[in-house]
C-alpha cells in the first residue's frame, strides 16, 4: 500500500528525501500504517507560499483505521511493561534524531504550512525541548503516600498509563502540538494514534519516519507511535471509539464541541485546546517600546494563525494615540513575502478560505462601526494567499470582535479609568486562552494576576500572548476547552490514578470504626 502517490515539486522532493520519505513507499510493509490502501482517494497538497502542487497523499478509510487501532493495542501490551526511565531513553533518542533533522524538517514546516522559516525551525526546536522535558519527567511520575487510620496499614496512590491516546492536531502547528501530547503520553506508558490536519500531512509523515527508525533500532514495535492521514470522518472514528480512553484535540471551538460531546457520551477523557481571543492590555504605566514589539509579533506572527495570536489590544486613553500611531507605522513597514526568504516577517495565510474569512471579518466589523487604520488588502502581486495585516479601531462588544478570526486582524480598543476596567474588557469574551498586560506598576500587575484579574489559562506580565515555553502547562478556560498540555503536571491527564491500601496485620479493621463481625 502506498502513502505518497507522487511528489510534484523538486524542493519538496529534496527535503523529503533528506528526511527519508519517498513516493511510492510501501507503508504497510514497513509498519508505518498511516493509511491509503489500494483504491483509496488521494488529497493534493498545495504550498500556501505560491499555491503550487507539491505532493499527493492517500487518505485512510475505516478499514485502515481498524488496522491501526489493532496495531496500537498490541504495541501497548509491550510498551506499558517497559520501565518509565527506559521509555524516557527512547524519547531522548527521538529528540536527538529531531536535532539531526531540524533544518530540513523546519523548512518542510514552512513549505507546507507557510509560517516564516524562523518559526518553522522554532517549531522543531519546540519538539526537541518537549523531548528533553519528557526524558526528565520519565523519572518523576510520582504518587503520594498517606497515613492510614487503621493500624498496620499502608496507603498510597500511583499512576498507570491509560492505553491508546488519540491526538487530533491542527495545521498551524503541524508537528509541535502533536509532540507535546505524544512525548508526554509515551513516557507515561501510552501509545498514540495521530490524526494531523489533512492540510499538512507531509510534516507528519516525515516525523513518523524519524520516530519509526528510532523504534526499529531499539527493537520496539512501531505501533507505539501511529499516524493516520484522513479527514473529519477519521476524527469522528477516534472520538467515538471506546477503545481510546483519551482524545487530545487542538482546533476550533466548533470542532472541539463535537469531540467533547462524542467523548463524553462514552465517558471517555478529553484534552481540548481550542480557540483564543487573546488580548494585551497596555496601561498608562507601560514600557511602550517593549509593548509595541510584543504586540507586533503576537498579532502578525504566523500571519495571525496561532491560537495565542493577539487579537485585541486594550490601551489606556493616556497613551492610546501614541500606541496607535506607532503600530500603524510598524504595520506599514512589515516585510510580507516568501517565508523561506531571510528578512520576511509575514508569510501567507494557509489557503483561499482563510483569505475569504479575513476579508469577511474586516467587512463585517467596519459595518458594525469599526475603523480600518492600516492594511486589510489582499496582495496578489506577492501570491494568492498573501494579505496585509490589519488594525481596526473597534469596541469589544462588536460581534466580530467577540469571535476568533484566524487571520492577522488586530482590534484596537480604548479604555479609561483604572486597570480593572481593562481587565473586565479583556475577560468579556467567550474564549480564555492567553492574556498579557504591559505595566511597570506593581499593583496593576498583581491585580491582573489575581483571582479577580485575567480569567485566561495564560496570564503574562510584560510578555506578549504568543510564544509559551514548554515548561508550563498550556491551555485555557471557557470556550478554549479547559485542557492542559505540555509542562508542569499536565502529564497526569495521560494517566489513571489508583489508590492502594495494604494491610500487613493479622486482623481486618474497617474504616470509620465500623464493626462487622461474623
CATH code for position 363: 3.40.309.10
Q: Which of 192, 307, 404, 485 is labelled catalytic? A: 307
pLDDT tens per residue, range 66-104: 999 999 999 999 999 999 999 999 999 999 999 999 999
Q: For cell 492574556, what's the residue?
A: 435
Is 510 among the domain residues? no
Give me the pLDDT at residue 221, please: 95
Q: With bands split at pLDDT 50, 70 and 90, how would you rate the model's confidence at 203?
A: very high
Same domain, 391 and 268: no
Same domain, 264 and 377: no
Give me the pLDDT at residue 36, please: 58
Is 187 among the domain residues? yes
Give me the pLDDT at residue 108, please: 97
Three-state SS for 143?
coil
In degrees, to the nearest 5, what angle opens at C-alpha 279 toward C-alphas 301 and 399?
A: 100
The answer to whether the beta carbons of residues 90 and 64 sit under 8 Å apart is: no
Structural domain boundaries enclosing 318: 278-469
Same domain, 420 and 490: no
Q: With bands split at pLDDT 50, 70 and 90, how would you rate the model's confidence at 473?
A: very high
Phi, psi torsion values for 350, nearest 5 degrees: -65, -35
Is 357 among the domain residues? yes
What's the pTM?
0.95
Count of alpha carbons within 13 Å of 338, Cβ hemisphere only? 6
Best CA proximity match to 469, nearest among 456, 482, 458: 458
Same domain, 262 and 346: no
Same domain, 295 and 233: no
Same domain, 264 and 318: no
Is 346 among the domain residues? yes
Is 492 among the domain residues? yes
Is 349 among the domain residues? yes
Rounded-to-integer distance, Cα 497 and Cα 504, Å: 23
For the question of residue 307 being annotated catalytic, the response is yes
Best CA proximity match to 61, nearest among 239, 258, 231, 263: 231
- Give the residue with greater pLDDT, 301 vs 7: 301
C-alpha distance from residue 66 to each of 32, 63, 72, 234 (Å): 14, 5, 10, 11
Neighbour order of strands in the sheet with 144-147:
144-147, 153-161, 495-503
Pairing, β 153-161 against β 473-474: unpaired
Please determine, for residue 27, whether its predicted confidence score (pLDDT) is greater than 50. Answer: no
What is 271-327 written as a DSSP string? EEE----EEEEE-TT--HHHHHHHHHHHHHGGGG-STT-EEEEEEETTTHHHHHHHH
Is 512 among the domain residues? no
Phi, psi torsion values for 343, nearest 5 degrees: 95, -15
Same domain, 233 and 320: no
Rounded-to-integer distance, Cα 45 and Cα 272, Å: 27
Is 81 among the domain residues? yes
pLDDT tens per residue, range 220-239: 999 999 999 999 999 999 99
Same domain, 284 and 373: yes
Same domain, 226 and 325: no
Please determine, for residue 24, whether its predicted confidence score (pLDDT) is greater than 70. Answer: no
Q: How many other C-beta atoms are found inside a 10 Å radius of the C-beta of residue 151? A: 10
Give me the pLDDT at residue 38, please: 65
pLDDT tens per residue, range 443-463: 999 999 999 999 999 999 999
Average model confidence (pLDDT) for the chain? 95
Q: With bands split at pLDDT 50, 70 and 90, how would you rate the model's confidence at 5?
A: low
Same domain, 43 and 116: yes
Same domain, 384 and 444: yes
Same domain, 166 and 292: no
Q: Which of 222, 273, 479, 485 is labelled catalytic? A: 273
How many structural domains is the chain composed of?
2
CATH number of the domain where residue 230 is located: 3.40.605.10
Amino acid at each position: 500500500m502506498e502513502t505518497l502517490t507522487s511528489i510534484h515539486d523538486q524542493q519538496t522532493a529534496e527535503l523529503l528525501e533528506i528526511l527519508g520519505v519517498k513516493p511510492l513507499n510501501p507503508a504497510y510493509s514497513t509498519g508505518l500504517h498511516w493509511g491509503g490502501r489500494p483504491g483509496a482517494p488521494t488529497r493534493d497538497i498545495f504550498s500556501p507560499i505560491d499555491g503550487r502542487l507539491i505532493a499527493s497523499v492517500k487518505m485512510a478509510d475505516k478499514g485502515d483505521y481498524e488496522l491501526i487501532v489493532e496495531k496500537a493495542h498490541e504495541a501497548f501490551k509491550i510498551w506499558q511493561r517497559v520501565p518509565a526511565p527506559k521509555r524516557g531513553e527512547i524519547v531522548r533518542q527521538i529528540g536527538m534524531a529531531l536535532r539531526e533533522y531540524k533544518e530540513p524538517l523546519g523548512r518542510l514546516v514552512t513549505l507546507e504550512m507557510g509560517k516564516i522559516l524562523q518559526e518553522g525551525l522554532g517549531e522543531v526546536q519546540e519538539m526537541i525541548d518537549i523531548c528533553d522535558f519528557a526524558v526528565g519527567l520519565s523519572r518523576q511520575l510520582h504518587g503520594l503516600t498517606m497515613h492510614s487510620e487503621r493500624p498496620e496499614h499502608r496507603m498510597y496512590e500511583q499512576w498507570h498509563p491509560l492505553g491508546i491516546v488519540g491526538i487530533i492536531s491542527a495545521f498551524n502547528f503541524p508537528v509541535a502540538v502533536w509532540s507535546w501530547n505524544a512525548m508526554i503520553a509515551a513516557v507515561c506508558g501510552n501509545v498514540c494514534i495521530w490524526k494531523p490536519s489533512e492540510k499538512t500531512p507531509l510534516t507528519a509523515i516525515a516525523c513518523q519516519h524519524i520516530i519509526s527508525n528510532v523504534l526499529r533500532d531499539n527493537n520496539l514495535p512501531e505501533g507505539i507511535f501511529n499516524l493516520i492521514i484522513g479527514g473529519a470522518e477519521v476524527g469522528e472514528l477516534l472520538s467515538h471509539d471506546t477503545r481510546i480512553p483519551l482524545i487530545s484535540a487542538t482546533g476550533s471551538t466548533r470542532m472541539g464541541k463535537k469531540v467533547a460531546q462524542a467523548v463524553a457520551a462514552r465517558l471517555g477523557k478529553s484534552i481540548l485546546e481550542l480557540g483564543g481571543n487573546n488580548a494585551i492590555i497596555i496601561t498608562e504605566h507601560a514600557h511602550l517600546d517593549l509593548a509595541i514589539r510584543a504586540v507586533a509579533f503576537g498579532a502578525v506572527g504566523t500571519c495571525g494563525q496561532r491560537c495565542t495570536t493577539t487579537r485585541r489590544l486594550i490601551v489606556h486613553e493616556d497613551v492610546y494615540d501614541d500606541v496607535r500611531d506607532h503600530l500603524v507605522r510598524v504595520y506599514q513597514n512589515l516585510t510580507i513575502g516568501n517565508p523561506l526568504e531571510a528578512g520576511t516577517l509575514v508569510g501567507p495565510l494557509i489557503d483561499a478560505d482563510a483569505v475569504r474569512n479575513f476579508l469577511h471579518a474586516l467587512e463585517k466589523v467596519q459595518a458594525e462601526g469599526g475603523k480600518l487604520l492600516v492594511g486589510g488588502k489582499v496582495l496578489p502581486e506577492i501570491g494568492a494567499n498573501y494579505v496585509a495585516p490589519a488594525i481596526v479601531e473597534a469596541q469589544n462588544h462588536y460581534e466580530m470582535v467577540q469571535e476568533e478570526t484566524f487571520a492577522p486582524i488586530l482590534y484596537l480598543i480604548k479604555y479609561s479609568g483604572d486597570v480593572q476596567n481593562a481587565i473586565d474588557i479583556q475577560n468579556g469574551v467567550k474564549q480564555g486562552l492567553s492574556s498579557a498586560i504591559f505595566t511597570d506598576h506593581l499593583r496593576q500587575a498583581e491585580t491582573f494576576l489575581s483571582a479577580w484579574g485575567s480569567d485566561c489559562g495564560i496570564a503574562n506580565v510584560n510578555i506578549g500572548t504568543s510564544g509559551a515555553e514548554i515548561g508550563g502547562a498550556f491551555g485555557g478556560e471557557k470556550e478554549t476547552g479547559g485542557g492542559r498540555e505540555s509542562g508542569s503536571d499536565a502529564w497526569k491527564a495521560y494517566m489513571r490514578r489508583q489508590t492502594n491500601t495494604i494491610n500487613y496485620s493479622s486482623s481486618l479493621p474497617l474504616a470509620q470504626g465500623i464493626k462487622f463481625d461474623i
